[in-house]
Amino acid sequence: MADDASTYDPSKYERPSVTVDVVIFTLYNRELHVLLVKRGHWPYEGYWAIPGGFVNMDEALEQAARRELEEETGVRDVYLEQLFTFGDPGRDPRTRVISVAYIALVRFDAQKLRVSDESTDVRWFPVRELPPALAFDHEKILEFAISRLRSKLEYTTLAFQLLPEYFSILELKHTYEQILGEKLDKGNFYRKIKEADVLEETTFMREGRGRPTRLWRFKPNRSDKQFVFRWREDRVESKSG
């Protein structure tokens, strides 16, 4: 006889645990960084890891991701986007754990970090100079996040999350180069970013050693669906490492 609401027994089925992990990026000292925490308990005590933790039975996935991110690092009120689900049976020595990963981008000066009672340190690392080994399968998750971030530059304005409200086009170009890990042709970049019609020229100028630099900003209420920027056509050289 088929089960119904009165006879269904959930204990007949094994229940894997569910966690959330948040890969959060920023630009610091003109270089792309990722936020990691040093674990204070087993498993992987002393290893650096992506911030995250177990999902409570009464909370949604994104709610859990935001809670864990704030509890472990102090970071809050950030743009979050679901990345991928990682569920290899042996990925966690504690039990069968399925992790839903998220990606986030923040301005470096907009957040104040703090250590939780489950970790001993929290720190920004350049993506090109990561610790030699990360906990769990977090190297795989981070590689996936970087790849997704790069691919989304073609059709979203995600990179603008890393910039202040007012910026120069040179700063925008540098942001793209840091995410992509390679140089872009200056002339083509300037032309294509203007053709994309996502920028608004301002009256603000930045003073420097040379001529003042014009500042721009992202157009308010501009839809990502309208944004297409084929950065692959602008590659001029690849960086090693």
Residue 31 has pLDDT above 80, yes or no: yes
Query: What's the pLDDT band for 49 if we cut at 50, 70, 90?
Result: very high
pLDDT of residue 58: 96
The boundaries of the domain holding residue 189 are 159-238
Question: Do 147 and 204 lie in a common domain?
Answer: no
pLDDT of residue 175: 92
Residue 227 has pLDDT above 70, yes or no: no
* 5 within some domain: no
Question: Do 71 and 129 lie in a common domain?
Answer: yes
pLDDT of residue 208: 74
Question: Do 177 and 105 lie in a common domain?
Answer: no
pTM score: 0.86
Question: Do 141 and 220 lie in a common domain?
Answer: no
pLDDT of residue 84: 98
pLDDT of residue 37: 98
Question: Do 137 and 218 lie in a common domain?
Answer: no
Last residue in a domain, options 90, 123, 152: 152
Last residue in a domain, options 121, 152, 183: 152
pLDDT of residue 233: 55
* 125 within some domain: yes
pLDDT over 90, % of the chain: 61
Answer whether 35's CB lies under 8 Å from 75's CB. Answer: yes
Question: What is the CB neighbour count within 10 angstroms for residue 216?
Answer: 21
Question: Do 143 and 43 lie in a common domain?
Answer: yes
Query: What's the pLDDT band for 241 if we cut at 50, 70, 90?
Result: very low
Residue 238 has pLDDT above 50, yes or no: no
- Residues 160-169 have a mean pLDDT of 90
CATH of the domain at 196: 1.10.10.10
CATH of the domain at 61: 3.90.79.10
- Residues 35-51 have a mean pLDDT of 97
Answer whether 51's CB lies under 8 Å from 35's CB. Answer: yes
pLDDT digits (tens, 9 = 90+) for 192-206: 888 888 899 999 998
Question: Do 173 and 97 lie in a common domain?
Answer: no
Question: Do 57 and 103 lie in a common domain?
Answer: yes
Cross-strand partners of 84: 101
pLDDT of residue 159: 85
* 3 within some domain: no
Tokens of 13: 């089925």
Last residue in a domain, options 152, 170, 194: 152
Question: Do 182 and 213 lie in a common domain?
Answer: yes
- Residues 161-168 have a mean pLDDT of 91
pLDDT digits (tens, 9 = 90+) for 78-90: 989 999 999 999 9
- Tokens 């950030």, located at residue: 78
Question: Do 167 and 232 lie in a common domain?
Answer: yes
* 231 within some domain: yes
Query: What's the pLDDT band for 171 if we cut at 50, 70, 90?
Result: very high
